[in-house]
Amino acid sequence: MTDYGAFAAGPLFGLPLPELWFALVFAILGTFLFLDGFDFGAGALFATREDDEERETILAAIGPFWDGNEVWLVVFGGALFAAFPAVYANLFSRNYLLLFGVLAALILRGLAPEMYEQRHDTAWQRWWGRSFVTGSVLAPFLLGVFTANWLTGSGALLTPAGVAVGLALVALTVVSGAAFLRVKTTGSLREDVRQTGERALVAYLGLVVVALGLVALSTPRLAAAVTTPPVLVLVATSVGLGAGYMAALRTGRDLLALVASGLLTYGLVAVVALLLYPLVDPGSGLSISEAIIAPLALNIMSVASALLLPLVVTYFVVLYSAFSGPVQPTESY
């Protein structure tokens, strides 16, 4: 019989692996919401353009990236299942219909550009263009509702807090999408999206305040958590990042604006994690230490992840390097 010895006795090297995996799950969620977020935002901004060439440019800008970006959603689900299987089961079963809605919106968002390019027919392209916008807006909205339900432990399809978080996430994707299109395009499209990005930023910051207020009203635990110093510092930091985003857009430092929008996204996810901690699923009352898997499996998974995650990150660095710079007029989706 194999003797696993110290490998099964507790976390490797005495590291706080349950807390590290809790942080890693939310870091992966933040990566997905940022990377696919600017795809969603570009899809929402597609609705503001009437010129066919500009619409083609938006599709060409996200073309090399969007399906790769969605890998992070799979990684998020896999990490949550691997580290906290009871949370995965409880959370996903409570929000079964909601997650089917997210899946349907993602399928529509992925299918629409493919169909849009198949025929140069006005009615056909108008239909699939609207489908692309619908999927791009509906996916982040429903993901925001899901996040609010996770926080409050609700299994309802829609709640006031869920609507507020969903709208905040849609606004944040437009903030990221505008910065991304500023990096990837030229001409009038690049100039026009700046103002939309600024308006979306103001809407996002206002909706975050509303959402925090509604979340605080849901349970006494969250009412106390919302006013803790780390959460208030993150909210204040978001206002500062927003100011930096606007300044960067107005001075043409678009890549810096995109980085600021990414930090805003990670900040929002960090607020969610702080409001949950030390619970990982308020709906079932499970804390991190109660929901984490056995030490042996946790150690094996931690070693495997330490080897594989750098490879995944390297792939994305190569991908974004290969398709860097503005889209050329000859490029298409």
Span 192-245, pLDDT tens digits: 899 999 999 999 999 999 999 999 998 888 999 999 999 999 999 999 999 999
Q: Cβ atoms within 10 A of the Cβ of 327, count?
A: 23
- Can you read off the two tokens belonging to residue 314? 């390297």
pLDDT in tens, 252-300: 999 999 999 999 999 999 999 999 999 999 989 999 999 999 988 999 9
Measured between alpha carbons, how far is 124 from 156 in angstroms, rounded to an integer?
36
Q: With a cut of 80, say whether residue 5 has pLDDT above it.
A: no
Residue 280 host element (H or E):
strand 279-281
- Arithmetic mean of pLDDT, 44-72: 90
Greatest mean pLDDT among 67-71, 133-137, 319-323: 133-137
Mean pLDDT for the chain?
A: 91
Stretch (H or E) spanning 116? helix 96-116
- Can you give the pLDDT at residue 6? 64
- Partners of 279 in beta bridges: 287
- Please state, in angstroms and rounded to a whole number, the distance separating the CA atoms of residues 24 and 8: 22
pLDDT at 52: 86
Helix segments in 153-283, DSSP class H: 160-184, 187-218, 220-226, 229-250, 254-276
For residues 275 and 189, give the distance between their C-alpha atoms in angstroms, rounded to a whole number: 39
Give backbone dihedrals phi and psi of 157, rounded to 5 degrees, phi first. Answer: -70, -45
DSSP, collapsed to helix, strand or coil, labels residue 175 as: helix
Does 3 score more than 60 pLDDT?
no
Residues 220 and 90: their CA atoms lie apart, in Å, by: 22
Query: Which residue would you say has higher pLDDT here, 15 or 131?
Result: 131
Whole-angstrom distance, CA of residue 44 vs CA of residue 136: 6
Residues 6 or more apart whose CB falls under 8 angstroms from that of 256 comprise 244, 248
- Supply the pLDDT for residue 219: 87
H/E element, 281? strand 279-281
